[in-house]
Amino acid sequence: ELFHRSQEEKDAKEKAKEKIQTAIDILRMSNQKITHYSIAQTCGVSFTTVKKYLDDETLKSLNEVE
């Protein structure tokens, strides 16, 4: 039971990370600014979840012109 719950938590974390990455890709393709809020809006996860996985420095680098 304990292992099963732990695996479910890992799966949920991976799913959230995948959604966040997909949102970043979508925002990039549509030339929109990448913010915690825009990612949350695009992929349907909470602002808090996005903040948990992406710090401000990472966001700053995502918005730099390549």
Q: What is the pLDDT of residue 52?
A: 95
Q: Which residue has the tokens 């825009």?
A: 38
Mean pLDDT for back-to-back runs of 10 residues, the chain (66 residues): 72 94 96 96 96 93 80
Entry pTM = 0.84
How far apart CA 51 and CA 53 sit, in angstroms, is 6
Q: What is the pLDDT of residue 65?
A: 67
Q: What would the two tokens of residue 14 be?
A: 């991976």
Q: What is the pLDDT of residue 17?
A: 96
Among 26, 25, 24, smallest CA distance to 54 is for 24
Among 11, 13, 40, smallest CA distance to 27 is for 40
Greatest CA separation found in the chain?
47
